[in-house]
Amino acid sequence: MGPESQKLSSRLSKLEKLLITQDEQYWAACVRRSNDEIRNGDFHGVESFLGALGGMGSLNDVVCSDNDATEQLRALITDAYDLATSIKHQQ
């Protein structure tokens, strides 16, 4: 796993933990599956994470119980998105 994939995996782990604290079990499981694939060197994990961000009812639509958690969620999603798109463009 390259350095960008390691950074992405770290961000996704943090994102998963935050989603669990916000009782977003479905999205936490989706992030975990993507991260497991990335850790195993499977590019599909990058694609599945990016796919979770588009359209209505996506991970982007999650709102947390307080503003601080929502800001943290947005920052993690944005950072992970930037890393994932960078990795995707390198393929």
pLDDT tens track of the chain, all 91 residues? 799 999 999 999 999 999 999 999 999 999 999 999 999 999 999 999 999 998 889 999 999 989 999 999 999 999 999 999 999 999 8
pTM, rounded to two decimals: 0.94
| Angle of CA points 14, 20, 23, to nearest 5° | 145
Domains held by the chain: number = 1
Contact 86, 11 (CB under 8 A): no
Nearest alpha carbon to residue 32 among 44, 15, 55: 15
Alpha-helical runs (H) found in 1-91: 3-21, 25-39, 44-51, 67-90
Location of structure tokens 């999650």? 62
Q: Provide the CA 22 distance to its chain's centre, in angstroms.
A: 15
Residue numbers of the domain that contains 47: 3-90
CA distance 54 to 66: 23
